[in-house]
A and B are shown apart, each in its own frame.
Chain A
């Protein structure tokens, strides 16, 4: 069972480490983790995608709430959230596959954000599933480097 944890934390040094440490010490999974400041510079939002049994997921929420740097924990299913991930990808191209790469980008809604004579940097912002699809679509051309943000998620507006 998968679950998204939106964790508001004090924006202090060491907080990311404490939260990540809690997951490793208690053997909880982190499938994805993304952190950034919120509109309040004293507060950061950590978006953690985790999986486990119902009981484990409940414990994760309780243990997160016990951390004194944690302000608020919200949990929800992926189906109740809008999820997005940003990926930057560098690929090697040549005359024969250049067209094909550009077509894939067009279909997937990716952009070419940088280029040299042999390399292209692509950017895509989409759901984690689509990002995965993009990677597999481009697997046959040679991927040089990939950087992903990890999943960001907010609960859908209707249910807030």
Chain B
């Protein structure tokens, strides 16, 4: 058995079903070993998208997914995908081929110091120096990626060592890492303090972040808030922690969030952040966190607590465990008046959008689309105006809402949707992007075609990089530098080129019927929606 075969065997032990990637000479021994394995392979069209596909798969399955590319440019192309996953704490294993070990450091063809380049975007990285270490390294890599605050782990594997003989293969049962022991259980005294604060509070509010999804804690959250009638808002990454229409859910916070949710944050006398970073886009600190606000911050990563805001009560630990521990207590609190107040905000504070006759209204479109989608469908939003329209208007029931929240990576939606669909081929998966972001990933239509991965794609077309244009509108006196996209390409032709269905929604007429048509079958479809170029979020 050689190093590459040992690596494949380790992936089988970790029950990896598929590898997204792109070969090159330096990773050939690995792909050669995969060729005789049951593990499926998906050949992408550019490496960045292999990372996004693994990321999309990991987001819906909750387990590390794998991508593998060659050395040099293959590895560097992966970096944006790795950084995107890192910013959203997504578990992922990235395998990169490397030039032969004796050549490392001599700048030979396709050599790149990838472990050095990704250091600030990975949870950990390995440069393999001995193929006999592969079992330990892979076992550790999966453990590190999946546990604590999840994140990508990279394994850089020199080509000579992929081919070198492994003396004895033994996959370790457990990992031994003296430097890494994530805290799971929250401190009992701190939890008790939180309960006491809940009893003192008149206007408590839970602000749930992506950590609830990552910690598989949505069920526990729902039980707790329903029992004690505690209202909930979410960050962008937290969308879907409660169904959008749940009576205790008041929307997304932040500068792109819903007015009711932001009002709730300002009025609350106790805010419990769970699995959220208190980052700039979500929490306007000077407005929200006053001296009178009790801030409880629950996160599995101790470094997040106190990084952006000082917490009154910090609790380090896993969200599901802590919520379960909290549910053990009886909370003696009556928040009926607070909920009435919030219901008032929900009713009265609405974003009023001007009409754009002759175009599709993206807000109505997203609402209608999400209502017509399957109950457990996956909605993948890209980045730009389309992301904000999606966040604000998508109605989650039992499905998932995926987006690149931390990094804001354009071109994310199509590959991430492919990854999600590949994981659950029976689930409906819809990617919604703009004409800018579509063109960053449209090469992956070929991957969809080749493997029969039937993702539905909506392109909100306004012939502009709309989010930047909007910024220029508000801040740069309408000087629209570098944002016009012209009319190319013709999306009907693009769809035809990839033997894909195409439809055009040009205005609001028959919107419902059109959307029903778009979702009618299980085939992939490219749907172009014409949006007013001057529309604003």
A residues with CB within 8 A of B: 10, 14, 17-18, 21, 25, 55, 58-59, 62-63, 65-71
Q: A18-B119, A68-B124 are in contact. Are A62 and B302 (CB under 8 A)?
A: yes
Q: Does B120 contact A (CB under 8 A)?
A: yes
Shortest B413–chain A CB gap in Å is 29
Bound CA–CA A71/B301 (angstroms): 17
Q: Do A59 and B303 have beta carbons less than 8 Å apart?
A: yes
Q: Does B178 contact A (CB under 8 A)?
A: yes
Q: Do B120 and A65 have beta carbons less than 8 Å apart?
A: no
Residues on the A chain within 8 Å of B306, using CB: 55, 58-59, 62
Q: Does B41 contact A (CB under 8 A)?
A: no
Shortest A135–chain B CB gap in Å is 35
Q: Do B307 and A59 have beta carbons less than 8 Å apart?
A: yes
Chain B positions 280-317 with a Cβ under 8 Å from a chain A Cβ: 301-303, 306-307, 310
Shortest B159–chain A CB gap in Å is 20
Shortest B380–chain A CB gap in Å is 29
Bound CA–CA A58/B178 (angstroms): 22
Residues on the A chain within 8 Å of B116, using CB: 14, 17
- In the assembled complex, 19 residue pairs joining A and B whose CB atoms fall closer than 8 Å, in A order, are A17-B119, A18-B119, A21-B119, A55-B310, A59-B306, A62-B306, A62-B307, A63-B303, A65-B302, A65-B303, A66-B301, A66-B303, A68-B124, A68-B144, A68-B177, A68-B180, A69-B179, A71-B178, A71-B179
Interface size on B, residues (CB 8 A): 17
| Besides A55-B306, A67-B179, 10 other A-B contacts (C-beta < 8 A) | A14-B116, A18-B119, A62-B303, A62-B307, A63-B303, A65-B303, A66-B301, A68-B123, A68-B124, A70-B179
Residues on the A chain within 8 Å of B115, using CB: 14
Shortest A27–chain B CB gap in Å is 13
Residues on the B chain within 8 Å of A58, using CB: 306
Chain B residue nearest to A26 (CB atoms) is B120
Residues on the A chain within 8 Å of B180, using CB: 68
Shortest A142–chain B CB gap in Å is 40
Chain A residue nearest to B178 (CB atoms) is A71
Bound CA–CA A65/B179 (angstroms): 8
Chain A's interface: helix, strand, loop or mixed, by majority?
Answer: helix
Bound CA–CA A71/B179 (angstroms): 5
Residues on the A chain within 8 Å of B307, using CB: 59, 62
Residues on the A chain within 8 Å of B177, using CB: 68
Chain B residue nearest to A70 (CB atoms) is B179
Bound CA–CA A68/B120 (angstroms): 13
Shortest A7–chain B CB gap in Å is 11
4 A-B pairs with least C-beta separation: A62-B303, A68-B124, A71-B179, A25-B120
Bound CA–CA A21/B116 (angstroms): 10
Residues on the B chain within 8 Å of A66, using CB: 301, 303
Residues on the A chain within 8 Å of B178, using CB: 71
Shortest A11–chain B CB gap in Å is 12
Shortest A71–chain B CB gap in Å is 5
Q: Mark B302-343, 1 if CB is under 8 A from A, else 0.
A: 110011001000000000000000000000000000000000
Bound CA–CA A69/B124 (angstroms): 9
Residues on the B chain within 8 Å of A68, using CB: 123-124, 144, 177, 179-180
Bound CA–CA A58/B302 (angstroms): 11
Chain B residue nearest to A66 (CB atoms) is B303
Residues on the A chain within 8 Å of B124, using CB: 68
Shortest B197–chain A CB gap in Å is 23
Shortest A70–chain B CB gap in Å is 6
Shortest A101–chain B CB gap in Å is 44
Shortest B537–chain A CB gap in Å is 32
